[in-house]
Amino acid sequence: MLVNLQAIDKKNKTAQVSIENAKTVIVLVLTMCILIGLTFIYNFPSLVATPIAKLTEGIKAIAARNYGQRIHLNRTDEFGELATAFNSMAEKLDEYEHSNLSKILFEKQRAETVINSLKDASIGIDTKGIILFANQQALQLLNLKEAAIVGLKQEDVQGKNDLFRFLIKEQNTIPFKIVVDGKENYFTKEQIDITQQENKIGTVIILRNITPFKELDTAKTNFIATISHELKTPLASADFSLKLLEDERIGTLTKEQKELVKNLKSDNQRLLRILSELLDLSQVDSGRIQLKNQTFSARDLIQKAIATTNNAAKEKNINISISMAKELPLIQADEEKSVWVMNNFLTNAIRYSPENGEIILKAEAKDNSVKLSIQDFGIGIDPSYQQKIFDRFFRVPGTQKKGTGLGLAISKEFIEAMKGTVHVESEPGKGSTFTFYLPANN
């Protein structure tokens, strides 16, 4: 029993030592597990979140066109492969961007070179009112530096530059004058809309320098005025001599001589009429139209025109009827030039009317004007020529009647100088109606 008890005591001590060793091992293992767990808990999110955060940052940089962005991960796992693929993509995009940018810069420089090489002043504006470009000629006329206009809103430039404000607001193409280096220069404005796929993307304003043409036109006008004036005197003298030849008190002419004198007189009268038109044209061109502000009635105007053209109407047996409103205001304009215009319209109506025809003259009040119209029932005017009928020297193709093509142009100039308007309505084969408005004396 003693031996048995000793054995049991010995085994108990051995078991106690094993238990203590086991506790020590378990404590060490638990401690290591806890340390490993804490380390994993602390480091694992960074192992996943850091690459994702870097990838997100890189994607944002690429979206902002920063193609120099790179992701650096010293790893061989999936995140490392993803970073390598991202860097390869960014490198290719960077190469493409620099290649595309160089092309864009090249095209921009070429476009600027072309724009600056244009002889005409040019200004480009987009649909938002931002000034895209202005070549050197435009900058010189505006007296501005490029930085003071390009890239700015047109409203801002208008407030600082009168010429630019005029170019933006003025819509017509009438020539205007700009003083450059103390010399008067004349320009016309042309506005071109730039479209892309039928959508307007901008506007280009072009100023064409017409100074040389204006100088030539002035020289031409002065030449015509001088020559016409010099020729009119001998022609008037010749006309007087022809009238004396028709007088039997000077001597009796044979039938053939009378015919020759008649033809000479007709040609002489035609030359005098042409010279008168040329003188009127030179007066219009030179801007020296002298208007007399007078008050007269539409009835007097019509009667004076009929008195002048009555013989021509009788030769073709044309009846001229007058239709006038009962109450008409007086006309406030130049009576002489108004009669000249009415006479011109009436002469044309007689010329292009058939024999035994009719011409209707109408007068009525219209707003603050007096509306005067001359209607004939002659050959009419094709619609394609009605817009050009008031152009100088224009004659409807196929017209057999003689003329200079100046009468209607001068009539239009006179009417507009008297603050009136004129237009034509016509139908081939049914006649024409020329209508003009003169201001009323209210």
CATH classification at residue 332: 3.30.565.10
Q: Which pLDDT tens digit goes with each residue over 110-138? A: 766 766 677 788 888 888 888 888 888 88
Those residues with Cβ within 8 angstroms of residue 378's Cβ, 6 or more apart along the chain or in another chain: 349, 352, 353, 354, 357, 431, 432
- Domain around 30: 2-94
DSSP secondary structure code for residue 148 in this structure = G
| Residue 195 shares a structural domain with residue 224 | no
Q: What's the pLDDT score for residue 282?
A: 62
245 and 260 in a single domain? The answer is yes
Q: How far apart are CA 374 and CA 349, in angstroms?
A: 8
**Cβ distance 328 to 364 under 8 Å?**
yes
Residue 362 lies in a domain: yes
The verdict on 236 and 249 lying in the same domain is yes
| pTM for this prediction | 0.47
Q: Are residues 323 and 416 in the same domain?
A: yes
Count how many domains the chain has. Answer: 4
User: Which pLDDT value is given to residue 175?
Assistant: 79
Q: Give the residues across from 436 on adjacent strands.
A: 372, 422
Q: Which residues of the chain have pLDDT under 70?
A: 40-49, 97-108, 111-112, 114-116, 173, 217, 219-233, 273-275, 277-290, 392-393, 398-405
Is residue 345 one of the residues assigned to a domain?
yes
Q: Do 434 and 299 lie in a common domain?
A: yes
Structure tokens, 4: 């048995």
Q: What share of the chain is helix, strand, coil (3-state, %, to 5)?
A: 55, 20, 25
Residue 359: per-residue pLDDT? 94
State the pLDDT at residue 228.
64
Whether 388 and 406 share a structural domain: yes
> For residue 18, what pLDDT is reported?
85
